[in-house]
Structure 1
Amino acid sequence: MPNSGLIDYHKLQLTNEEFQRLSALIYKESGIKLPPIKKVMLQSRLQKRLKHLKINTFKEYISYLFSKDGFDREIIHMLDVVSTNKTDFYREPAHFEFITNEVLPNYYSSNVNQTFKVWSAGCSSGEEPYTLAMVLFEFAEKNPKFNFSIFATDISTRILQKAVDAVYSEDKVQAIPFPLKKKYMLRSKDRTNPTVKMAPHVRSKITFDRLNLMDSTYKTKDIFDVIFCRNVLIYFDRETQAAVINKLSQRLKPEGYLILGHSESILNLNVPLVQVRPTVYRKV
């Protein structure tokens, strides 16, 4: 893939036909639908890949991507730049209150010697699973026999590395009460770039892995008490949403909970769940 002289990658443009080929592949591999209005966004994000690979045109890039070797090497990187990653600590706090006030007391009263298992599907840079860890540690402090584990997955290897590194700017954790920060986070000594890192005992409770929700089966063999899949399904069409929710439901215990984002719903989907709260569903 030669590079002929200096290329201004920001000026490279996708044709409509190239956009259609790429958006069809992205939909097939990730379930993410990109309408024509997203063409400029896709063009801008993929320009970085062309620069990295020293490819001069989108036509060459597509030829590379659709080749056997190219597909195997590039598909993960392409999906990395396409996926959207937005998250915060304690986002949609009503969900964590429901876990603390309803789910955990009921679980603990009849499952003292078992491990409470949670899956954060579409965990992005880790704020959700680390929030869950803090919530569960707080419960364990009052209930010493309580044990838990968290499985956290995302399609993006780049964003998963951020989650594993577990380093956040102090601005990012500003809303977290100080007693929790003191228990579960370590402050950096460099005050010119103030950051915090999740404490080792918090990180040890979470297993991070790459997982594509479009896979026909999910590689985890665990059955979970609660699955968080928030603000992920909004990028899928209804048919894909139903398929993903049904596969997630297979990994839920009977009476286990699936928690979706505030703008997501299972309305009119053929799935084995009933609503118990806004965006909270129980397996039947």
Structure 2
Amino acid sequence: MVSISDSEHLAQADHLRLAEFIEQVVGIQLPAHKRSLIETRLRKRLRATQINHFHEYLDYVLNGDTQEQVMLIDALTTNKTDFFREANHFEYLYEYLDRLLNQSNQNRLHPYRFWSAGCSTGEEPYTLAMFLETLKINHPAFDYQIEATDISVSVLQTAQQAIYPHHLAEPIPMAYRKRFLLRKKTASLDLVKVAPELRQHIHFSEFNLVTGNFDAMGGFDGIFCRNVMIYFSQAQRQLIIENFTRLLTQNGFFFVGHSEGVSARQFGLEQKIPTVYQKIST
């Protein structure tokens, strides 16, 4: 039987080669002060692969086992999200679109498109869909699509299933819960499932913000990338923002986390409220 010692520590040289690989492939930085967290997550992969030591595991995974590389990246990716997180972003977009639709006398020929980049387990795109679906009450012709992407395979699986413990839905206003969530009670679990009317508008897929083909994503009326870019270097952040803004339609919106500042004018953006930017004419 394989024995994995919890007392073994990740050597500095192994930490450095792991950090170099992760930054190159995913763009996420793994500084020295996170070594204990890295060790904890690596031990799960050692158990899964039945390898005894960190050094042996890294030899195995970094020398070309692409399937295990996916699992390694998944293990080291931090995924934290909530329903209605930074709800003022969605409220601002709703009010803007409501005014725009009230002023427009023309029917748009194609749906509005939005991107939830770094969508984690799906709470962000589902929250966005709740607001957009509500617009249809006063604007029945309004239509939308949401591309939701993440680097982590496991969180995308959770997002696609659209099933969550009931307590995670507590931040959702009751009127939205009644309309958009289905209760799923079992003997031991109290669950909710997102209604099909939202799920049909969302497409989940894997996307790497460092190496991904942005041009293949198409144009967007709004892009959400919140509390994701803090894990990248300054140079990587700049390139990612350049790619995002290039894909925004004229007057499209870019939403970031409150810990992420953007030099708006540098990217052809104008700050509307804190952490909300709009693409302007250049």
TM-score between both structures, scaled by the size of structure 1:
0.92
1:93 to 64, 67, 87: 87
SS in 2 for 1:55: coil
Correspondence 1:188-199 to 2 at 5 A: 188-190=184-186, 192-199=188-195
* Residue matched to 1:112: 107
Q: Secondary structure at the match of 2:6?
A: helix
Deviations 1:110-143 (A, max 9, x none): 4632311110000010000000111001001211
Asked if 1:43 is matched to 2:39, the reply is: yes
User: Which stretch of structure 1 is more off in the superposition, 245-254 or 16-25?
Assistant: 245-254
Aligned residue-pair number:
278
Corresponding position of 2:4: 8
**Aligned counterpart for 1:217 among listed residues 213, 227, 230:** 213
SS at match of 1:274: strand
Greater CA deviation, 229-238 or 218-227?
A: 218-227
Cα deviation for residue 108 of structure 1 reads 6.2
Q: Which amino acid aligns with 1:123?
A: C
Counterpart of 1:167 in structure 2 is 163
Distance 2:46 2:193 in 1: 33
* Structure 1 position 280, deviation (Å): 0.8
Distance in 1 between the 2:171 and 2:58 partners?
A: 44
- SS of residue paired to 2:224: strand
Is residue 26 of structure 1 aligned with residue 54 of structure 2?
Answer: no
Structure 2 CA distance for partners of 1:30 and 1:179, relative to 1, 3 Å: same
Per-residue deviation, 1:148: 0.6
* Residues 242, 270 of structure 1: 8 Å contact kept: no
- Among the aligned pairs, what percent are the same residue? 37
Please say if 1:251 is aligned against 2:272. Answer: no
CA contact 1:211–1:218 (8 Å) conserved in 2: no
Q: d(CA) in 1 for partners of 2:125 and 2:275?
A: 18
Q: Which runs of 4+ in 1 moved over 6 A?
A: none
| TM-score relative to the length of structure 2 | 0.93
Question: What is the CA deviation profile of residues 39-68 of structure 1, one whole-angstrom value per residue up to 9, with x for unaligned ones?
Answer: 111111011111111111112112112223
CA RMSD after TM alignment: 1.8
Alpha-carbon distance change, 197 to 216 in structure 1, aligned in 2, over 3 angstroms:
closer
For the pair 1:229 / 2:225, whether they are aligned, the reply is yes
Taking structure 1 as reference, are residues 130 and 216 closer, same or farther at Cα in structure 2, changes over 3 Å only? closer
Secondary structure of the 1:141 match is coil
- Give the distance between the partners of 1:186 and 1:280, measured in 2 at CA: 32
How many angstroms apart in 2 are the aligned matches of 1:12 and 1:269?
49
Please give the secondary structure, in 2, of the residue aligned with 1:87.
coil
Could you tell me how far 1:277 is from its partner in structure 2? 1.4
Are the aligned partners of 2:27 and 2:210 in contact in 1 as well (CA < 8 Å)? Answer: yes
Rounded Cα–Cα distance in structure 1 between residues aligned with 2:216 and 2:121: 20
What is residue 78 of structure 1 aligned with on the other side?
A: 72
Q: For 1:183-232, what per-residue CA distance to the aligned partner results, in whole angstroms no more than 9, with x for missing partners? A: 11110132641110001121111000000101153263320000000000
**What's the offset of the Cα at 1:33?**
1.2
2:259 aligned to which of 244, 263, 272? 263
Structure 1 residue 136 corresponds to structure 2 residue 132 = yes
Match of 1:156 among 141, 152, 155: 152
Q: Which moved more, 1:268-277 or 1:42-51?
A: 268-277
